[in-house]
Amino acid sequence: MFKIFQKYNRAIFILIIFMIITPLYAQKDIDSILSKATLEIFEDPDSAIEKGLEIYTNTEATSSQKIRALILISTGYSSKRNYEKSLEYALMAKNNFNDDKISALKIRTLNKIGVQYQQLKIYDKAIEYLDEALKLTNTYSKDEDSVASLLGYNYIIRGFIYREQMSCDIALNYFNKSLYQYKKIVAKNTVMNANLSTLTYNKGNCFIMLKQIDSAKISFNESIIYAKKIDANSLQGFAQKGLGEVYTIEGKHQEAILVLHEAILTSKEVGDLILNQGLYEALANNFLALNQLQNHQKYYTKFLETQALIKDTKRKTINQSISHVLEENKKEIGEIKSQGFKIRLLLIILIILSVLLLLFLMKKSEKNLKTFKNKIQLLKK
């Protein structure tokens, strides 16, 4: 009987251990899927979005994994230039935080929302979220690598905004700050190569605007190198487009056409509308410069078709983002009204209590006065 009891206890113990370990393995698998999907964002955003949705609906996923999945989905839609959906999932991620605890994930989410507003050119909202993220980053010191990553991301988005609102000189300052942070951790985190490719590409664009052509060429070549390290075809395509622009400025139209065609081949599976629009326009212009009118018309038509698709997507996204802003403002106004109502209610209660107290004191005073008069009358007798 005792042996049976021992076996029974052992079986229960094994079952308990199995129940503890199984979710841990499941969570490790989810982390692994998230990491792999993050690398797919630029190459295959649809696959990254699909995996993110699977994790978000997975009952075994932790709260932080679900938030990471939402950020993954948001970034995937951003890569597809579907800013409407991207902003929707970024805001969902923000709303999934149920406490005030500062974490790298929370800061990353705020940065992500800032990016969405920057892409929609709603710069005041973008800066608002970036400022909040930067404030939290400056108080977050648990992990130096995480801080470097968060700062690098924040600075590059500010660079984008200041390039649009101010000048490339100011933008380059923030791009260099971002570059400094990312280079600290790129050896440990190969994903940072994507950010470095994006940074050096945008630096190249700024150098073109500043007419520093040699510096632009160096930056675009660096961007290609970083993109190739992680097989990020979309980023490589953008860098090649930039290099094609340098050749066009130098009057090397044949070299420009070659590198632009290479960019189309590199990124043909990505389906990035913005990239395709730029490549088609650049090819059309270079063929026109060489007086190859048939090829010029071919790529100019493709450019116009792609431009129409982008405008339609942006129009839908901006309408959605305006709705989000109005909803947030409505919520803030509702909270202010609610607070105002509470204050007014409190004042009314205090006034009523004060009046009641005054009436009580007056009645008591009258009673005391009457008693005092009665005593005086008795003394006179």
Residue type, 230: I
CB count within 10 Å of CB 202 equals 23
- At 261-287, the pLDDT tens digits run 999 998 887 778 888 999 999 999 999
pLDDT for residue 11 is more than 60:
no
Contact 35, 225 (CB under 8 A): no
225-315: what fold?
A: 1.25.40
| Joined tokens for residue 103 | 């974490």
The most confident of 9-13, 105-109, 193-197, 256-260, by mean pLDDT = 256-260
pLDDT for residue 143 is more than 50:
yes
Reference 325, options 317, 315, 337, 336; nearest CA is: 317
- At 208-232, the pLDDT tens digits run 999 999 999 999 999 999 999 988 8
Rounded to the nearest integer, the mean pLDDT of the chain is 80
Q: Using 50, 70 and 90 to split pLDDT, how confident is the model at 15?
A: very low
pLDDT for residue 369 is more than 70:
no
- At 43-76, the pLDDT tens digits run 678 888 888 888 888 777 787 788 888 888 888 8
> E strand or H helix at 179, and its extent?
helix 168-185
Q: How many residues does the chain have?
A: 381
d(CA 322, CA 117): 10
Average pLDDT for 239-258: 94
Q: Using 50, 70 and 90 to split pLDDT, how confident is the model at 372?
A: low
String of b and e for 1-15 (b: at least 16 CB within 10 Å)? eeeeeeeeeeeeeee
What pTM did the predictor assign? Answer: 0.64
Reference 317, options 68, 124, 122; nearest CA is: 122
> CA torsion 50→52→54→56, rounded to 10°?
-150
Comparison of pLDDT for 314 and 63, the residue scoring more: 63
**pLDDT given at position 22:** 40
Q: Using 50, 70 and 90 to split pLDDT, how confident is the model at 33?
A: confident
- Angle, in degrees to the nearest 10, between helices 144-165 and 123-139: 160
String of b and e for 61-90 (b: at least 16 CB within 10 Å)? beebbbbbbbbbbbbbbbbbbbbbbbbbbb
**pLDDT given at position 349:** 84
d(CA 336, CA 278): 46
pLDDT for residue 290 is more than 80:
yes
DSSP class of 43: T
String of b and e for 170-199 (b: at least 16 CB within 10 Å)? bbbebbebbbebbebbbeeeeebbbbbbbb
Residue intervals of the chain classified under CATH 1.25.40.10 are 225-315
Within 8 A by CB and 6+ apart from 157, the residues are 111, 114, 115, 118, 126, 130
- Angle, in degrees to the nearest 10, between helices 253-266 and 273-289: 160
pLDDT for residue 27 is more than 60:
no
- At 198-212, the pLDDT tens digits run 999 999 999 999 999
